[in-house]
Structure 1
Amino acid sequence: MPIRAVVYVSQPVVDLSFEHLESLVADAARFNRMAGVTGVLLHDGVRFVQYFEGPEDGVISVYERVLQSKSHTEIVELARGLVSARQFPYWSMHRLPADPLLVGQLARANWSRFKRSDQSSVPGSGWGIDLLAAAVAPHVAAA
């Protein structure tokens, strides 16, 4: 079964509290588990970058929820497409804090492919998937 992925950037609504954000992530994790979707949400306090992957029907369902959510605005899809294998199979959804520089780099990165480079740990590779993998790696090792 082909695996699809979507990555987007958005801005949270101004009154989104930490507790509300944690509740949204927990709810998304439950929904994603049922849909067979895995992913990660990075948040710098001003913007979100979310990447999720899974079977086509699951990704479509999750993305529809994303687009209908009233918790964020200005959704900009950075990329969507096929992946040869899951890039981030560890979490149905997990929120990671991120600094504004990283979120900005991810928003401006080249997302024309979802395959990691052979040298994905090299900073400044320019590929969005490599930047995201490098940002997530320390949190996976700690889990």
Structure 2
Amino acid sequence: MPIRAVVYASEAVAEIVADGLGQTEGRLCSIIDDAARFNRDAGVTGVLLFDGERFLQYLEGPEDGLAVAYSRVVGASSHSGLVELQRGRVGRRRLPFWPMRWLPVESQELARMASADWTSFFQRGDATAPNATGMDLLQVAVQQQVAVIG
């Protein structure tokens, strides 16, 4: 079954921004818990990066499950100004370990990812290069956080 992916950036609503990055019981955690339950059943995996004001989310899974999960994202009241950065087929799952998880990132890191090249979800393998792709940067951000949270 082909795996598809989508990545977007958006602005968090004031209620989520007010909770801040250290939230453990905030609205964002509730949203993520709900998304994880839904995504598990839909066969979707992904990650939501949050810099305290903005989101960048990468989702992947079978076409039907991803379509429904993404329609929930598009209709969510937790953010605004959604900009789809890329959507398409991927050869394999890149983030198979979480139905959904949010990770804190620095503002500059999120901005660099959002403006990077997401074409075909290509990876060059060098996130330090000036022309690092969005997937290169996302993989490094996730690996760094996985190392921190275990």
Relative to the length of structure 2, the TM-score reads 0.89
Contact 1:5 1:52 in 2 (8 A): yes
Structure 1 unaligned regions, length at least 5: none
Structure 2 unaligned regions, length at least 5: none
* CA–CA distance in structure 1, aligned partners of residues 29 and 95 of structure 2: 20
* CA–CA distance in structure 2, aligned partners of residues 98 and 76 of structure 1: 19
Structure 1 counterpart of 2:101: 94
Determine whether 1:24 maps to 2:25: no
Contact 1:124 1:131 in 2 (8 A): no
How much does 1:113 deviate?
2.0
Counterparts of 1:15-94 in structure 2, within 5 Å, are 15-16=15-16, 17=19, 18=23, 19-94=26-101
* CA–CA distance in structure 1, aligned partners of residues 4 and 137 of structure 2: 19
Structure 1 counterpart of 2:135: 129
SS at match of 2:32: helix
Contact 2:3 2:92 in 1 (8 A): yes
Matched residues, percent identical?
Answer: 48
* CA–CA distance in structure 1, aligned partners of residues 58 and 15 of structure 2: 23
SS at match of 1:15: helix
* CA–CA distance in structure 2, aligned partners of residues 60 and 49 of structure 1: 18
How much does 1:115 deviate?
3.2
How much does 1:121 deviate?
4.8
Q: State the AA in 2 paired with 1:134.
A: V
* CA–CA distance in structure 2, aligned partners of residues 96 and 51 of structure 1: 12
SS at match of 1:74: strand
Q: Deviations over 1:103-133 (max 9, x none)?
A: 100110001121322x345454421000000
TM-align CA RMSD: 1.3
How much does 1:15 deviate?
1.5
SS at match of 1:113: helix
SS at match of 1:5: strand
**Alignment: residue pair count:** 142
SS at match of 2:87: strand
Q: State the AA in 2 paired with 1:130.
A: D
TM superposition outliers: structure 1 runs of 4+ over 4 Å: none
How much does 1:138 deviate?
2.2
